[in-house]
Chain A
């Protein structure tokens, strides 16, 4: 069990600056997920914490000890790799025992630990098999088992579920969460899948181009994204964005785009004082758009043409167009509509997001 502190961490590969001034404090027993698109520096950050990648500048502390120059073997961490990295010539038991043998554990202790880990993961009957005789899910469990037998201070996961099929991924995700509840070890998890990040993380770190965009609890990121990138990255289907011009009129502030005119609600409007005539981006999640009814004020409604109807069973996703802007709306599954139908949609004013057009930061 340990706290991990990353302070002003930087990594450069020749001229490419892949991790820029990352600052982060990961509490004891916390499950922190790094998420971001490919090449955002999340895996590099994890590898630096593991000691597999040298640090260009900054500090990494595990359990209040600076480990910048400590080799991986002495950091007391365990890592699960995307391709599992099981030793192909060793049995499952051999794979799990390797780390303990290297650390010169007693034979009886090794056996006890392997048995306990195998019981936790339900792989007791696979112990004598070789990795090539296992299915993807079983390999994943063995890789987890190899990490937990060591009882390390920190678990590091590098996209461990990416190689599994969709169904198994969901199942393993739940098991990982349970495992963390049970063991309580500090865990750092890297993924490009925002659903994994939202479901697994106590806190989520969103990265882009080597820079941390926002750190927060999953719902905090969802409800109050710090910028347009986080808003678009977190949530599925993604948030709708409309590039608008702000204009004053009739005592209100209007967000205008070709074919679209929305009156900003009071709580948003006062934040854009003095920006009239300027550019901004409006963001609204698909579930915050609904078919307009008589109760919806006219300034929150807009006309659209339906382009695609996605029937998902529990909901319908409507891909619609208003002028130059496309909107995805999540509506009741009972709605009967067809492509090219004209509809009036309304937005939930309390859930409207506004971003600066230049800096993309939330307003």
Chain B
């Protein structure tokens, strides 16, 4: 907190905070207002009389109806959900085991291996999709959800491993040693003691992995082609932008509905999420 006169608090704290919140939330507001605005208002020129860009007096659900009736939106939601959940589970499973191994097992090159895994995370997806496309074609997985479920872990596993490795390192080693003296094997000590202690970290990794897969665009664009296989980000942008015509109402409705599951996941786990990122283990 800034100490001193009121003006200091305003200049150094309140005003920057308000600006920051405004910049952060305005796109969401714009998305919501556009979703419920009738086409007549959306395409009105800015210099027309009664032009009201930030509010509508005639809210409508026509764009949402259009989305569900004229496109495969419900199907895209299901696809996205299925792909995001399965790829998150796969990545978490691998990430937790790999993170534990790198943090706790003293094998040669453990440190360098951890760094190498992190480096693979830095390879841009815009390059990686080229060899991956070849592999997907060879395995004849193109245009199926498995093309994404198996390729998303290429960036999710390094991410989960790295995050979990840091989290496992923050858990006191003595807990595990005590469990092993108490009669647990290393596996049991991990399952009964370390993993329960790491739940906040696992939830954080899971939430971020879920969000990354939910929002992923480039692989979904390249590997899926039939309209009923698409995910929300690809479906909405490919089906609702035709040439240079933007169907702003349905586009924004799609974006709004598409962000709801992620918002629910975040708000549900927010407490764990914060403690996961700050790496706190209460002892």
The 8 A CB mask of B176-202 against A (1 = contact, 0 = none) is: 011111111100100011001101000
Q: Is A50 an interface residue (CB 8 A)?
A: yes
Q: Is B174 an interface residue (CB 8 A)?
A: yes
Interface residues of A in 78-97 (CB under 8 A from B): 78-79, 81-89
Chain A residues with CB under 8 Å of B108's CB are none
The 8 A CB mask of A100-141 against B (1 = contact, 0 = none) is: 001100000000000000000000000000011000000000
Q: Is A208 an interface residue (CB 8 A)?
A: no
**Interface contact B192-A79, CB-CB below 8 Å:** no
Tell me which of B174, B188, B197, B281 has the highest count of chain A C-beta atoms within 10 A of its own C-beta. B174
Q: Is A222 an interface residue (CB 8 A)?
A: no
**Interface contact B196-A77, CB-CB below 8 Å:** no
**Interface contact A102-B197, CB-CB below 8 Å:** no
Asked if A131 meets B181 with Cβ closer than 8 Å, knowing A81-B174, A83-B172, the reply is no
Query: Considering the chains assembled together, what is the distance between the CA atoms of A102 and B180 in angstroms?
Result: 10
User: Count of B residues near A, CB < 8 Å?
Assistant: 21
Q: Which of A79, A88, A103 contacts B197 (CB 8 A)?
A: A88
In this complex, the interface size class of chain A, counting residues with CB under 8 Å from chain B, is: 20 to 34
Query: Considering the chains assembled together, what is the distance between the CA atoms of A99 and B177 in angstroms?
Result: 12
- In the complex, the chain B residue whose C-beta lies closest to that of A132 is B282
Chain B residues with CB under 8 Å of A52's CB are 177, 180-181
Q: Is B283 an interface residue (CB 8 A)?
A: yes
Q: Is A228 an interface residue (CB 8 A)?
A: no
Chain A residues with CB under 8 Å of B197's CB are 87-89
Q: Is B175 an interface residue (CB 8 A)?
A: yes
Chain A residues with CB under 8 Å of B283's CB are 83-84, 86, 88, 131-132
**Interface contact A85-B180, CB-CB below 8 Å:** no
Query: Considering the chains assembled together, what is the distance between the CA atoms of A73 and B189 in angstroms?
Result: 11
Asked if A72 meets B192 with Cβ closer than 8 Å, knowing A81-B174, A88-B197, A132-B283, the reply is no
Asked if A102 meets B181 with Cβ closer than 8 Å, knowing A83-B283, A88-B281, A89-B196, the reply is no
Q: Is A353 an interface residue (CB 8 A)?
A: no
**Interface contact B281-A73, CB-CB below 8 Å:** no
Asked if A85 meets B174 with Cβ closer than 8 Å, knowing A102-B188, A131-B283, A132-B282, the reply is yes
Query: Considering the chains assembled together, what is the distance between the CA atoms of A86 and B178 in angstroms?
Result: 8
Asked if A85 meets B177 with Cβ closer than 8 Å, knowing A73-B184, A73-B185, the reply is yes
Interface residues of A in 259-316 (CB under 8 A from B): none
Q: Is A39 an interface residue (CB 8 A)?
A: no
Tell me which of A51, A85, A89 has the highest count of chain B C-beta atoms within 10 A of its own C-beta. A85
Chain B residues with CB under 8 Å of A98's CB are 179, 182, 184, 192
**Interface contact A85-B184, CB-CB below 8 Å:** no
Q: Which of A51, A87, A132 contacts B193 (CB 8 A)?
A: A87
Chain A residues with CB under 8 Å of B177's CB are 50, 52, 72, 79, 81, 85
Q: Is A146 an interface residue (CB 8 A)?
A: yes
Chain A residues with CB under 8 Å of B172's CB are 83, 85
Tell me which of A50, A72, A86, A146 has the highest count of chain B C-beta atoms within 10 A of its own C-beta. A72
**Interface contact B196-A73, CB-CB below 8 Å:** no
- In the complex, the chain A residue whose C-beta lies closest to that of B178 is A85
The 8 A CB mask of B268-283 against A (1 = contact, 0 = none) is: 0000000000000111
> Whole-angstrom distance from the CB of B191 to the nearest CB of chain A?
11
Q: Is A150 an interface residue (CB 8 A)?
A: yes
Interface residues of B in 160-179 (CB under 8 A from A): 172, 174-175, 177-179
Asked if A73 meets B180 with Cβ closer than 8 Å, knowing A85-B174, A87-B175, the reply is yes
> Whole-angstrom distance from the CB of B130 to the nearest CB of chain A?
44
Interface residues of A in 195-214 (CB under 8 A from B): none
Asked if A73 meets B282 with Cβ closer than 8 Å, knowing A81-B174, A85-B172, A102-B188, the reply is no
> Whole-angstrom distance from the CB of A194 to the nearest CB of chain B?
24
Chain A residues with CB under 8 Å of B196's CB are 87, 89
Chain A residues with CB under 8 Å of B181's CB are 50-52, 72-73, 75, 77-79, 99
Query: Considering the chains assembled together, what is the distance between the CA atoms of A87 and B183 in angstroms?
Result: 14
- In the complex, the chain A residue whose C-beta lies closest to that of B183 is A102
> Whole-angstrom distance from the CB of A172 to the nearest CB of chain B?
19
Cβ-closest 6 pairs across A and B: A99-B182, A102-B183, A85-B174, A85-B178, A89-B196, A81-B174
- Show the binding face of A for B, using Cβ within 8 Å: 50-52, 71-73, 75, 77-79, 81-89, 98-99, 102-103, 131-132, 146, 150
- Show the binding face of B for A, using Cβ within 8 Å: 172, 174-175, 177-185, 188, 192-193, 196-197, 199, 281-283
With contacts A52-B180, A72-B180, A87-B196 known, what are 14 further pairs, Cβ within 8 A? A51-B181, A52-B177, A72-B177, A72-B181, A75-B181, A81-B177, A87-B193, A87-B197, A99-B181, A99-B183, A102-B184, A103-B183, A132-B282, A146-B182
28 contacts between A and B (CB under 8 A): A51-B181, A52-B180, A52-B181, A72-B177, A72-B181, A73-B180, A73-B183, A75-B181, A78-B182, A81-B178, A83-B174, A84-B283, A85-B172, A85-B174, A85-B175, A87-B175, A87-B179, A87-B193, A87-B197, A88-B175, A89-B197, A99-B181, A99-B183, A102-B179, A102-B182, A102-B184, A102-B188, A146-B178
